[in-house]
Amino acid sequence: MTEHRDDGTDIDRVAILAEIYARNRLRIEAQLPRLNIRQEFGHAVSVRAWRIHADRHYDRIRAEILAQQRVKFGDGWGYAITGRWVLNILIERALRASYAKP
């Protein structure tokens, strides 16, 4: 698998920050401790970047892995439940291997 990088420009950082501030307001009203804004923001951006990467590359990586496995094991590979489980694991590994954190 080749490495693909997403530049992160699709992440709406303003909306993420607004949502964190809104959650903090609710926590203050409920007399709960405030969120660590920097930590929550970093986590939210990381989660969004991963989701964008996975959405963009899932179909291509799935097709590549499925083709490789069917060359090895036959055209019926991936139809049975165990084959689908293995396929999902291989896709997850390939996505993670191709992901460059922002």
| 102 within a domain of the structure (yes/no) | no
Q: What is the DSSP string of the chain?
A: -------STT--HHHHHHHHHHHHHHHHHTT-PPP-HHHHHHHHHHHHHHHHHHHHHHHHHHHHHHHHHHHHH-TTTTSSHHHHHHHHHHHHHHHHHT----
Q: Which amino acid is at 69?
A: Q
Q: What is the pLDDT along the chain (102 residues), one digit of tens a residue?
A: 334 445 556 899 999 999 999 999 999 999 999 999 999 999 999 999 999 999 999 999 999 999 999 999 999 999 999 999 999 999 999 999 999 765
> Is residue 92 included in any domain, yes or no?
yes
- Does 30 map to a domain? yes
**pLDDT at residue number 7:** 58
The whole domain housing 51 covers 13-97
pTM of the model: 0.76
3 within domain boundaries = no
In a domain, 36, yes or no: yes
- Give domain status of residue 67, yes or no: yes
Residue 97 CA to residue 8 CA, distance in Å, equals 18
Count how many domains the chain has: 1
Q: What is the pLDDT of residue 61?
A: 97
